[in-house]
Amino acid sequence: MGKVPAGFTNEPASRKANTMERKTAHRGFTLIELLVVIAIIAILAAILFPVFAQAREAARKASCLSNTKQLGLAIMMYAQDYDEMYPCNSWDTPPLGTADHDAKDANYRTAMNWIFKVQPYAKNKQIAVCPSDPNPKNGWSGYSLDGTCNDGWGIPMPISFAPNVEIIGYGGYNNPNGCFGDGSFIPDWNMAPKPMAAIPSPASTYMFADYGRGTLESTWVNNLRAANYTRVFNASAPSNGYRQDQTEPWASRRQQSSVYRHQMGSNIGYADGHSKWRHGNQITSGDDYYDLRHASEGIWPREY
């Protein structure tokens, strides 16, 4: 029998055909294999997506905390330039004197002008916005382009924070010609402008914070505990703090993570200029009546 030339075999044609068919049959995946792979990917996605979401929120919380630290520093710089007086709002609603805001009107009149008083020190309006605030132009925070006495509480720029009226109170209350008229009651209500020395425990007293309304008040501490509540439900969280925790709908709604600004809590700037994140269950008004317990910190400035 002669030598077989290179590249040729004595294998019958039918056997070679069968071999090729078997090789071709193993080139793809079966339907079952594809379904298994898809199922594995779906399971991994279900596990990892919440982790990614938490990581994103942790980054937003850190960014917001940085904003509160910068704003706190700006307030401390303001106080040093004004004989250690904290900035205040203006009950007599003077014109802002600057058009560097959404209304583009230097004659915009508002009582809520504390954020503009510290802007020369902050030099950045963006630090007034929290990246976890779903709507910093929400009306509950005071956003308004009106600029008249019809809306003397308006703030013509996005804002996510609110000042503690016990510290950043109201000046101009001796001027009866403003939008709100006589404000002689303001000192009696302990809301007059304050020097730094008037705060007994500045490291334990909230100065401004993530908040769902325009001003931070002890009665409305639940809007600090759940700072996005007004955004989600277009209504204020109930007054009187922890006293409301067993009442509906607050009892159910405060279990929803969406009503909180940052991972079940809020970022807070304190009266000594430092900032930190606090869990909603740690946030108090500082008033035992509202909180049903003795608090170590809070809105009301006292010896804690």
Question: 95 by DSSP, 3-state: which?
Answer: strand
Predicted pLDDT at 55 = 76
The pLDDT value given to residue 52:
67
- Both structure tokens of 297: 């910190």
The pLDDT of residue 13: 56
**CA-based angle 298:294:65, to the nearest 5?**
25
pLDDT, one tens digit per residue, over 219-256 is 999 999 999 999 999 999 999 999 999 999 999 999 99
β 206-210/161-163 pair status: antiparallel
pLDDT score at 35:
84
Report the candidate in 216, 284, 274, 227 with the shortest Cα–Cα distance to residue 254: 227
AA letter at 100: D
Round to whole Å and give the CA distance between 53 and 64.
Answer: 16
pLDDT of residue 44: 83
Flag residues of the chain having pLDDT under 70: 1-27, 51-52
- Residue 101 near residue 145, CB atoms below 8 Å: no
**pTM (global) more than 0.85:** no
How far apart are alpha carbons 130 and 125 in whole angstroms?
11
Separation CA 8–CA 235 (nearest Å): 86
Nearest to 160 by CA among 181, 129, 135: 129
Residue burial 229-268, b: 16+ Cβ < 10 Å; e: rest: bbbbbeeebbbbbbebeeeeebeebbeeeebbbbbebbbb
Q: What is the pLDDT of residues 181-191, one digit of tens each?
A: 999 999 999 99
